[in-house]
Amino acid sequence: MAQTLPTNERRRRLGMLSANRVVLVFAWAILGCVLFLGVFGYWLTPYAPTEQNLLDRLAPPALFGFDSAYLLGSDRLGRDILARLVFATRISLAIALAGTVIGAIIGTMLGFIAAYFRGLIEEAIMTLVDIQASLPFIIIALTLLAFVGNSLTLFIIIMGIYGWERYARLARGAVLSAQSQPYARAVRALGASPWRLYTRHLLPNIAGVLIVQFTLNYPEIVLLETALSFLGLGIQPPLTSLGQMMGDGRDLLINAWWLSVIPGTLIFATTLSISIIGDWLRDRLDPTIARGE
Amino acid sequence: MNTRFLALKLLRMLVTIWFVVTFVFVVLRATTDPVEALLPPDATPDEIAQWSEIWGLDQPIIVQYGRYIASLTVGDLGFSYRDGRPVTVVVGQRIPATLILGGTALALALFVGVPFGIIAALRRNRLSDRLIMAFSVFGFAIPNFFFGILLILLFSLYLRWLPSSGYGGLDHLVMPAATLGLATAGALARFTRSSMLEALSKPFMETAAAKGAGAFRRVMRHAVPNAAIPVVTILGLNIGALISGSIVTETVFAWPGVGRLLISSVEARDLAVVQFLVLLIALTMVVANLLVDILYSVLDPRIRVAGAAKAG
């Protein structure tokens, strides 16, 4: 195809390539800033996240030109937004990471189990996969929260249930297609156990696809967690998350827009940058998806 | 559409519904003591025994399960413990508001997303394409609760053009519908674009050009119908996103719909209402998927033929 393209088309494509480059670098930079804030953020502020100053409630952010002792303002209890933001970023990112890892492990294992046992077990697992895929996940999450009652453990488990079905599909498909491959038969013939075949030979082969799935799931779990916390059904005080901070500031939009807008911007920046990086990773790692269009 | 294909789909639909019903039953019984959940905390042991008998809670679990299924099939779904009304009434009152919001958002997403996608494909890699794709990524990535809050800040608090919450005239509908429709519009624009690009590169487009069909006719009569099928798939997948989105959007804008009812019921642990809403949403999803499948075979004769050939 490349040889037949007219020069202006080729030039345009090159232009697009560099535009994508710029966006990608930008995404990495934003992600770097978010991570920096999460890790080293406490250095930027003299206050602790729980430190209240009731004489200085709802102080506007000094960063936007207001006369204030707080770089990003203070909340309704006079707590420093920046310090709370660091705390919330850590929790939101860590919970999403835990959820993504749990989902990836459970899903991959169940996919392997389905492909290994076939028959009824496979049917049962794949039916579960279909059902989870056919229902909006937030409904499943809300049902569990209503019936079990909210707790941090349950909340992390819910984040872990999210998206397992996609890993299960990928892992099962990979095993089924690899079983006819010469290398898999060779490993079997050498006397390796199925477990060894799956973990040592198959897993590295599908690692690229799984990593791509990981980067797609991560921002979705960040969004799920922040949405539930925003609605007051996720992370509960004294802990906080970016969504919980936003929900907390929702009633005070008129007086103190920064309470909601600053954590919201951070959520958006995180999910957007990881999505862009995930797209780029998919183009690099996943040969089954055609490049370009 | 042949009957066997349809029968298979219907069967899968029933299995999904049965599974959701059972899931709700199991989770409910495994996690809560119904007596504790339904009776006031100061109930005497005598009262507890009496009510357990009335509700059949002293029966074996399998009998309870049978009774539960039986009561569902006759539409006896229990009462909201917050105001004592039947859940069907509590939920029924909220449905019109949700349908208005969801319908408007879906229409908005279609009228914005599909034309944008077509324009982007026709003007591939030009500035307009870039802008539309940037809009698509933005719409897809921004959390809807954040977008809703930004709209409230701009149009309600700063410009004072629109009411920030509530239900009533058209002015109440604008911001919630835009918030809910944005993500779907972004997804639709993106998939319409790639689907159109694929259709435009097919040999039949050259044939159409060779026949002397004008540019407009080529796009509208040849490219768009062929590009429609993947777009319908995405639309089907987005029904779920619309339902999840409406839960958040309705809460942000205090819209008196089903989504907000679900959140407040989860908060108050009003289990009968939650249970009914979950079943209702599952049913909606399953029916929507079935409709998408049917729509497919109407749009694409190839699927009909393949289905018929497979069936016999």
pLDDT by residue for chain A (293 residues), tens only, comes to 444 555 565 555 555 556 778 888 999 999 999 999 888 888 877 777 877 777 777 777 777 767 777 777 888 887 888 888 999 999 999 999 999 999 999 999 999 899 888 888 888 888 888 888 878 888 889 888 887 878 889 899 999 999 899 999 988 888 888 877 888 888 888 888 877 888 888 888 888 888 888 888 999 999 999 999 999 888 888 888 999 999 888 888 888 888 889 999 999 999 899 888 888 887 777 655 544 33
Are B60 and B155 contained in the same domain?
A: no
Q: Which long-range contacts (CB under 8 A, 24 or more apart) does B260-265 make?
A: B260/B94, B261/B90, B261/B91, B261/B94, B262/A142, B263/A142, B263/A231, B263/A233, B265/A146, B265/B80
Region B190-213: what's the mean pLDDT? Answer: 83
Residue A174 and residue A116 in contact, taking contact as beta carbons nearer than 8 Å: no
Asked if the structure places residue B261 within a domain, the reply is no
Asked if the structure places residue A226 within a domain, the reply is yes
What is the predicted pLDDT for the residue at B146? 92
Q: Give phi and psi for B78, each to the nearest 5.
A: 95, -175
What is d(CA B20, CA B275) in angstroms, rounded to the nearest whole number?
Answer: 10
Chain B residue closest in CA terms to A130: B16
Distance between terminal CA atoms of chain B? 13
- pLDDT above 70: residue B103: yes
Q: What would the two tokens of residue A120 be? A: 């009824």
Residue B131 and residue B189 in contact, taking contact as beta carbons nearer than 8 Å: no
Residue A47 belongs to domain spanning? 10-290
DSSP B253: T
Region B14-38: what's the mean pLDDT? Answer: 74
List the single residue in A231, A257, A276 with the smallest CB-CB distance to B248: A231
Are B156 and B224 contained in the same domain?
A: yes
Q: What would the two tokens of residue B1 be? A: 């559409």
Q: What would the two tokens of residue B222 be? A: 């040849």
Q: Which of B256, B283, B299 is the last residue of a domain?
A: B256
Asked if the structure places residue A1 within a domain, the reply is no
DSSP A47: S
Asked if the structure places residue B199 within a domain, the reply is yes
Closest CA to B233 of B190, B293, B286: B293
| Chain A residues within 8 A of B27 when measuring between CB atoms | 143-144, 147-148
List the single residue in A135, A231, A260 with the smallest CB-CB distance to B149: A260
What is d(CA A104, CA A221) in angstroms, rounded to the nearest whole number?
Answer: 12
Asked if the structure places residue B263 within a domain, the reply is no
Chain A residue closest in CA terms to B28: A147
What is d(CA A77, CA A59) in angstroms, rounded to the nearest whole number?
Answer: 10
What is d(CA B51, CA B58) in angstroms, rounded to the nearest whole number?
Answer: 10
Model pTM score: 0.84
Are B223 and B160 contained in the same domain?
A: yes
Q: What would the two tokens of residue A61 be? A: 């952010």
Chain B residue closest in CA terms to A245: B146
The answer to whether the Cα torsion of B289, B274, A229, A169 is positive or negative is: negative
Q: What would the two tokens of residue B305 be? A: 């033929």
Exposure string for A216-251, b = 16+ CB within 10 A, e = fewer: bbbbbbbbbbbbbbbbbbbbeeeebbbbbbbbbbbe
Q: What would the two tokens of residue A209 be? A: 């696809």
Q: Do A143 and B141 touch (CB under 8 A)?
A: no
Structurally, chain B folds into a number of domains equal to 2
Looking at residue A163, its amino acid is: G
What is d(CA B152, CA A257) in angstroms, rounded to the nearest whole number?
Answer: 11
What is the predicted pLDDT for the residue at B3? 74
Residue A111 and residue A122 in contact, taking contact as beta carbons nearer than 8 Å: no
List the single residue in A143, A219, A230 with the smallest CB-CB distance to B24: A143
Q: What would the two tokens of residue B122 be? A: 């026709």
The answer to whether the Cα torsion of B16, B20, B21, B22 is positive or negative is: positive
Are B248 and B310 contained in the same domain?
A: no
List the single residue in A16, A137, A264 with the smallest CB-CB distance to B149: A264
Are B148 and B193 contained in the same domain?
A: yes
Chain A residue closest in CA terms to B130: A16
Are B51 and B130 contained in the same domain?
A: no
Are B112 and B89 contained in the same domain?
A: no
Q: Do B244 and A264 touch (CB under 8 A)?
A: no
Q: Do B281 and A136 touch (CB under 8 A)?
A: yes
Asked if the structure places residue B163 within a domain, the reply is yes
The answer to whether the Cα torsion of A93, A105, A164, B266 is positive or negative is: negative
Q: Do B27 and A144 touch (CB under 8 A)?
A: yes
Q: Give B55 to chain A, closest Cα distance, Å.
A: 19
Asked if the structure places residue A3 within a domain, the reply is no
Give B119 or B201, the one with higher predicted confidence: B119
- Residue A39 at interface with chain B, using a CB cutoff of 8 Å: no
Which one of A8, A9, A31, A139 makes the best mutation probe of the B interface by having the most chain B beta carbons within 10 Å? A139
Give B19 or B259, the one with higher predicted confidence: B259
Q: Give phi and psi for B86, each to the nearest 5.
A: -60, 140
Closest CA to B261 of A284, A142, A122: A142
**Torsion angle in degrees (nearest 10) through CA of A95, A99, A102, A103:** -170
| Chain B residues within 8 A of A15 when measuring between CB atoms | 125
Are B68 and B163 contained in the same domain?
A: no
pLDDT level of residue B40 (50, 70, 90 thresholds): low
Residue B207 belongs to domain spanning? 102-256
Domain of A233: which CATH number?
1.10.3720.10
pLDDT, averaged across chain B = 81
Q: How many CA atoms lie within 13 A of A88 on its CB side?
A: 34
> Residue B79 in 3-state DSSP?
strand
Q: Which residues contact A23 (CB under 8 A, 6 or more apart)?
A: A276
Q: What are the helix and strand counts (H, E) for chain B?
A: 14, 0
What is the predicted pLDDT for the residue at A1? 41
Residue A162 and residue A220 in contact, taking contact as beta carbons nearer than 8 Å: yes
Q: Which residues contact B207 (CB under 8 A, 6 or more apart)?
A: none
List the single residue in B150, B198, B271 with the smallest CB-CB distance to A146: B271
Are B207 and B84 contained in the same domain?
A: no
Are B107 and B238 contained in the same domain?
A: yes
Q: What would the two tokens of residue B133 be? A: 């794709």
Exposure string for A263-287, b = 16+ CB within 10 A, e = fewer: bbebbbbbbbbbbbbbbbbbeeeee
- Residue A89 at interface with chain B, using a CB cutoff of 8 Å: no
What is the predicted pLDDT for the residue at B284? 86
3-state helix/strand/coil string of B97-145 = HHHHHHHHHHHHHHHHHHHHHHHHHHCCCCHHHHHHHHHHHHHHHCCHH
Q: What would the two tokens of residue A118 be? A: 């076939």
- pLDDT above 80: residue B30: no
What is d(CA B116, CA B110) in angstroms, rounded to the nearest whole number?
Answer: 10
What is the predicted pLDDT for the residue at B310? 47
Q: Give B33 to chain A, closest Cα distance, Å.
A: 10
Question: What part of A 192-251 touches B (C-beta under 8 Å)?
Answer: 219, 223, 226-227, 230-233, 243, 246, 250
Are B78 and B29 contained in the same domain?
A: yes
- Residue A134 at interface with chain B, using a CB cutoff of 8 Å: yes
Exposure string for A103-112, b = 16+ CB within 10 A, e = fewer: bbebbbebbb
Instruction: Give the Cα-Cα-Cα angle B257, B260, B262 (nearest 5 degrees).
Output: 105
Exposure string for B232-254, b = 16+ CB within 10 A, e = fewer: bbbbbbbbbbbbbbbbbbbbbbe
Which one of A142, A252, A270 makes the best mutation probe of the B interface by having the most chain B beta carbons within 10 Å? A142
What is the predicted pLDDT for the residue at A126? 86
Structurally, chain A folds into a number of domains equal to 1
Are B193 and B217 contained in the same domain?
A: yes
**Torsion angle in degrees (nearest 10) through CA of B254, B257, B262, B267:** 30
Domain of B106: which CATH number?
1.10.3720.10
DSSP A132: H
